Amino acid sequence: ARVAAAIRAEPLMMADASQRGARLWDLARASAAADLAGLAQKLEPRAEWDDLVVPADVTAQLREVAGQVAARATVHEAWGFGTKLARGRGVSVLLAGPSGVGKTMAAEVVARHLRLDLYRIDLAGVVSKWIGETEKNLKRIFEAAEASGAVLFFDEADALFGKRSEVKDSHDRYANIEIDYLLQRMEDHPGIAVLATNRKGDLDPAFLRRLRFVVDLPFPDATLRRRIWARAFPPAAPTDGLDLDALAKLELTGAGIKNVALHAAFLAAGEGAPIRMAHCLHAARREYAKLEKVPIGLPPLATHPGGRR
């Protein structure tokens, strides 16, 4: 009733039906917003499909995820499949791959496409040393997500969805109880849960069997890296003579490329100059050093145009 009254009071009510429908959805979503303070961080999805530079099959799988969410009412209710499913009506997705390949961005893209809120679960706030507290926190998270329709995003999921261990003491027994509880809640959850990990092998096999989708995001090859470099510099950023083919030879993830581009931009801005290859290569060396990787293919660290090494 509050949402209906609010939209009737807006001038947009005189606009076309699609605008009214979109505004109605936004107001209803805001009214049902989850209260997950201390347990989850609300992310504002800004990335769109064109921003996600991954292999075509990965994009296809993510579109299938979004498609299943959008068509749930048709399949479960109109077509009657829901009567055959006591559990497992939700859509659960595992995004697996090395750090920096775009797992968080993939979750953002799906949430933005579906126009749903996205909450990243804060494991530090969820996991408790006190017996039973972890389960209470998880119960609160799943219930809030179910009421609001929000997408739950479990980053570094292996820390929470790890393998059950042989029971040697009470600590092992209660750790296994937490995992059993998670298995049950994941299967009963009717909404959308996205798990991300760079250690897929550490997940409990029982979780993998219950997941609707497992999407592997690989380390980007040179072709993908060139596409990422082409998007790394905003149109307003002044550049001069950047060789994208040469930059694509640097074995960096999308996150690494973003870091290099930003570092290069600050170097150039400090000199009052456009972003050049010297800035990018200097920044790339810093990124390789941070990752403790051997900078194969990079020229020696020369003095960049600002005169600093």
Residues 115-145: pLDDT tens digits?
A: 999 999 877 677 776 767 778 888 888 888 8
Whole-number pLDDT of residue 135: 80
Write out pLDDT tens, residues 186-211: 778 888 999 898 888 888 787 788 78
Average pLDDT, the chain: 84
Whole-number pLDDT of residue 299: 60
Enclosing H/E stretch for 223: helix 222-232
Q: What six digits make up the tokens of 141?
A: 């998270």
Q: How far apart are CA 55 and CA 44, in angstroms?
A: 24
Q: What six digits make up the tokens of 197?
A: 């990990």
Flag whether pLDDT at 173 surpasses 70.
no
**Cβ distance 50 to 109 under 8 Å?**
no
211 or 287: which carries more pLDDT confidence?
287
Whole-number pLDDT of residue 106: 96
Q: Residue type for 164, please?
A: R
Flag whether pLDDT at 307 surpasses 50.
no
Tally Cβ neighbours within 10 Å of residue 98.
Answer: 13
Whole-number pLDDT of residue 12: 62
pLDDT classification of 301: cutoffs 50, 70, 90: low
Q: How far apart are CA 64 and CA 4, in angstroms?
A: 32
175 or 158: which carries more pLDDT confidence?
158
Tally Cβ neighbours within 10 Å of residue 57.
Answer: 11
**Cβ distance 237 to 264 under 8 Å?**
no
Distances (CA, A) of 176 to 129, 136, 167, 183: 14, 15, 8, 11
Q: Which of 246, 245, 260 is nearest to 293 (CA)?
A: 260
Cα 286 to chain centroid distance, Å, stands at 26
Using only C-alpha atoms, the chain has a radius of gyration, in whole angstroms, of: 23
pTM: 0.84
Flag whether pLDDT at 238 surpasses 90.
yes
